[in-house]
Amino acid sequence: MLNHHTVQAELLSGFEFLMPETQAMQLDDFANPGMVSVEEGRVLFATTGSNGKACADCHGEQGSKLNPKRIAKYPVYSESLKAVVTLQGQINICWDDKLENPPAIYDSRTSIALETMVRHLARGEVVNVDISGPMQKHYEAGRELYNMRFGQLDMACVQCHDQFRGKYLRAQKLNQGHSNGFPEYRLGSGHITSFQRRIAECFVSFRAEPFEFGSEELINLEVYVHARGNGLKIETPAVRY
């Protein structure tokens, strides 16, 4: 295990590590390819479920009744479930229980589109994950995983995003690994990508077996990485390499 008391530099969004033309793409809603997923989410948000209800019935047309500051707090601890709930997790709960649809699959196209649309409503809000109380143990567990080496390459998240941030891996400058842009559009894959999907992609790069989507391990990592970026503004959908 690596030393997880690595000094954190000034918080910098991955946006700061992009080329100017890519920054311009992200800032222009007509050019940002991630906006396709936002639009797809808006359609789903207004679509009636199996019981004839839609997300918009509770949360207003295009989510007008949703609180952006509340969105910026996810993941949160649910007292009723006695568990951590990510934003996508909460969307899936509503999709299943409130609309009585067939169970949503974590990281499915439907779930990612709705998550992108909802988190986009909080664009510009400051990430503000509360790690007090029962969240603390999940934060610590996520930090352990962030600092743990995995796979045949014996790599850890902390190596790329703390120890070697700002250096180049092939032609790509390593950023600080923050999550304020997720779900984000990856130019390399040509897909909108959730946080947990990106972690899985990194594990494949490590030549390690990824955790299952929605697993306790990935939820703990999501708690830690989101909280690690507290103070950064939400950029969803960000554009990254």
We report the CATH number of the domain holding residue 64 as: 1.10.760.10
Is residue 160 domain-shared with residue 78, that is, in the same domain? no
Lowest mean pLDDT, pick from 160-164, 199-203, 229-233: 160-164
Q: Is 81 exposed, middle or buried (0-12, 13-18, 19+ CB in 10 A)?
A: exposed
Q: Looking at the domain assignment, is residue 84 inside a domain? A: yes
CA 195 – CA 178 distance, rounded (Å): 10
| pLDDT tens column, 56-103 | 999 999 999 999 999 999 999 999 999 999 999 999 999 999 999 999
pTM for this entry: 0.93
Quick one: average pLDDT of 155-176?
Answer: 87
Q: Looking at the domain assignment, is residue 187 inside a domain? A: yes
Is residue 63 domain-shared with residue 139, that is, in the same domain? no
Is residue 116 domain-shared with residue 196, that is, in the same domain? no
Is residue 161 domain-shared with residue 217, that is, in the same domain? yes
**Structural domain count, the chain:** 2
Of the residues 120, 154, 185, which one is the last residue of a structural domain?
A: 120
Q: Tell whether the torsion through CA atoms of 93, 94, 98 and 104 is positive or negative.
A: negative
CA 165 – CA 176 distance, rounded (Å): 6
Is residue 39 domain-shared with residue 83, that is, in the same domain? yes
Is residue 98 domain-shared with residue 140, that is, in the same domain? no
* Residue range of the domain that includes 101: 35-120
Q: Looking at the domain assignment, is residue 168 inside a domain? A: yes
Nearest of 217, 197, 200, 220 to residue 208 by alpha carbon: 200
Determine which one of 55, 157, 160, 202 is catalytic.
202
Q: Looking at the domain assignment, is residue 111 inside a domain? A: yes
Quick one: average pLDDT of 22-35?
Answer: 98
Catalytic residue flag (residue 202): yes
Q: Radius of gyration of the chain from Cα atoms?
A: 17
Of the residues 86, 120, 154, which one is the last residue of a structural domain?
A: 120
Is residue 234 domain-shared with residue 132, that is, in the same domain? yes
